Amino acid sequence: MQESILPRSTIGIFGGGQLGRMASIAAKRMGYRVIVLDPTPDCPAGQVADDEITAPYDDIEAAKKLANQCHVVTSEFENVPAETLEAIESIVPVRPSSRVLRVAQNRIAEKNFLAQNGFPVPKFRPILSSDDLKEAIKEISCPAILKTATGGYDGKGQRKIERKEDAERAWASLGHAECVLEEFVFLEREVSVIVARNLKGEEAVYPVAENTHSNHILDTSVMPAPIDAQLAKRAQELAMAIARALDVVGLLCVEMFVSADGRLLVNELAPRPHNSGHQTFDAAVTSQFEQLIRAICNLPLGSTELYRPVAIANLLGDLWQIGEPNWLAALEMPDVKLHLYGKAEARPGRKMGHLTATGKTPDEALQKVISARKRLLALE
């Protein structure tokens, strides 16, 4: 049987943003040491970790320095070069593995993996040439979404194509990069499911979250999603099946579309903690961040039960454009919690923190957190 990595061991994290920060807090609470590798000095995770290595993610020597000080290494986002992780897998366990990241960090590889394994996805075609684009537009028709194969997040690297005559111009605006053309899905809602797996094959799945976006960035998320119980069960089973097929050790968030015509379709995979699971920090028996530590250290997995329905609202840098937000006004609501990520500069569109609120129902929790965010601008 695979050995567990026990408290007082050292965990390495590639990526020093808010996900790494909250994972570091969970790890340190459990008695682990944490070392973070990130290109930015005094990054959010580095502020709470035991040590920080400042280096680019493609710096193999820096990655080996991290690996030689750690008992296990994980990543807070899927765009760490897979080559970097491959270079250290002979030194230290990397969880999830470089193989998992190779699938998740390239939309062509991701869509092919899902389709080849029989998982439901929107119609898609890889785009490597102008001829590919012309043929794909014929097959999929318009409207359609053109997405870069790598590097896109929060809506970056995407173009909606309304008419076939606009296709070439849209591709040119993305630098003629390798892309995926997808059918445009008319949505009823967007949901996500976070799954944890350890080396023993134990699994834990969180309640389904329902997510709303503004300018392609997650705006609010509520858990459990106010959806039909059968749909929720299907979404959880789908996420678990994908995690098994990928052989994930750690966390996997599966973002899904519920289409207007009733289909449940996989949108994206994120083998890491996810913004739509931040609610669990305050309202679940085991947060997604503690669960990550349990999974990668091959510990027994914790309960995913929620104490109460819960919602989050993201706080973007836009809130600071007219001055410091009114924290007191929001915190006058006694079941609202504030999380700030330690980022020095508030820029429009930048995730600076989030608010969490609980309620008797998912909708009550959502309305509370929206109201609390409005109070930050003294609108209430």
pLDDT in tens, 271-326: 999 999 999 999 999 999 999 999 999 999 999 999 999 999 999 999 998 899 99
Q: What is the pLDDT of residue 142?
A: 94
Average pLDDT over residues 342-360: 95
**Residues 342, 197 share a domain:** yes
Contact 82, 63 (CB under 8 A): no
Tell me: the pLDDT tens digits for 87-114? 999 999 999 999 999 999 999 999 999 9
- CA–CA separation, 232 and 246 (whole Å): 21
Residue 245: give its domain's CATH number: 3.30.470.20
Q: What is the 3-state secondary structure (H, E, C) of 245-306?
A: HHCCCEEEEEEEEEECCCCEEEEEEECCCCHHHCCHHHHECCCHHHHHHHHHCCCCCCCCCE
Q: Is the pLDDT of residue 379 over 90?
A: no
CA-nearest of 174, 211, 186 to 311 is 211
Residue 207 sits in the same domain as residue 302: yes
- Is 103 domain-assigned? no
The answer to whether residue 199 is domain-embedded is yes
> What residue numbers bound the domain in which 153 lies?
123-183
Q: How confident is the model at residue 244 (pLDDT cuts 50, 70, 90)?
A: very high
Q: The domain that contains 151 carries what CATH number? A: 3.30.1490.20
Tens-place pLDDT, residues 145-194: 999 998 766 667 899 999 999 999 999 999 999 999 999 999 999 999 99
Confidence of residue 78 (pLDDT cuts 50, 70, 90): confident
pLDDT for 157 equals 84
- Residues 201 and 160 reside in one and the same domain: no
Both 68 and 200 in a single domain? no
Quote the mean pLDDT of the chain.
95
- Sequence-ordered list of residues with C-beta below 8 angstroms from that of 360, at least 6 positions apart, any chain: 308, 309
For CA atoms 221, 313, 374, 190, give the dihedral sign.
negative
Q: Considering the chain, what percentage of its residues have pLDDT values greater than 90? A: 93
Interior CA angle at 195 toward 192 and 197, to 5°?
A: 165
Say yes or no to pLDDT of 380 above 90: no
Both 261 and 142 in a single domain? no
* Domain CATH number, residue 23: 3.40.50.20
Considering its fold, how many domains does the chain have in total?
3
Q: Are residues 371 and 259 part of one domain?
A: yes
* 194 and 164 within one domain: no
Q: Which two tokens stand for residue 373?
A: 């965010």
**Mean pLDDT calculated for residue range 209-230:** 95
Residues 332 and 198 in one domain: yes
The structure's pTM equals 0.95
Q: Which residues of 220-236 are buried (b: 16+ CB within 10 A; e: fewer)?
A: bbbbbbebeeebbebbb
Q: What is the pLDDT at residue 308? A: 97
pLDDT in tens, 11-47: 999 999 999 999 999 999 999 999 999 999 999 999 9
Does some domain include residue 105?
A: no
Residues 267 and 162 in one domain: no
Residue 21 included in any domain: yes
Average pLDDT rounded to a whole number, residues 57-78: 97
Alpha helices in 30-152 (DSSP H): 60-67, 82-88, 98-104, 107-116, 130-140
Do residues 347 and 198 share a domain? yes
If asked whether residues 128 and 156 sit together in one domain, one would say yes
Nearest to 150 by CA among 119, 178, 121, 122: 178
Residue 110 lies in a domain: no
- Taking residues 339-344, report their average pLDDT: 95
pLDDT given at position 155? 62
334 and 350 fall within a common domain? yes
Q: Which amino acid is at 92?
A: V
Would residue 116 count as lying in a domain?
A: no
Yes or no: say if 59 and 66 are a contact pair by the CB < 8 Å rule: no
Residue 202 included in any domain: yes
Residue 255 lies in a domain: yes
